[in-house]
Structure 1
């Protein structure tokens, strides 16, 4: 298997665990990714595509850009997209 196909497989597993919730009356999408290398891959591959899907399924919402965050004291990363 090539590195690119492994990253696609790992990203697909991460996107199955996506959480969508509301906090302070604003919708948030959280995708638990894990490793920093996979965060870079997911940002490059899905940044524009994911935002276009959110605009399609939530037409009355305005979305911010994809933002990577790290869980403190660990090496676990997640991506978050917030409603403006």
Structure 2
């Protein structure tokens, strides 16, 4: 079950996030300054928001943005890794 949410991106902080009941679900990434590589390294959803599809929505938004930027995408976050196989 997916909730309709507003995904925000703060590139200066290298993160995508969703505000949820005064908490934040987030997807963090790092950029390699010497190449066009991006690494998604952490996904976090507060307990109160789990099971609502927020992590999936964050990952899909992050991957979509990274592809549009022309980044070579990597994921050290185990949650993100299966999305790269599609």
TM-score (norm 1): 0.38
Higher helix share: 1
Question: Which has the higher relative contact order, 1 or 2, with Cα contacts under 8 A spaced 6 or more apart?
Answer: 1
Structure with more of its chain in strand, by fraction: 2
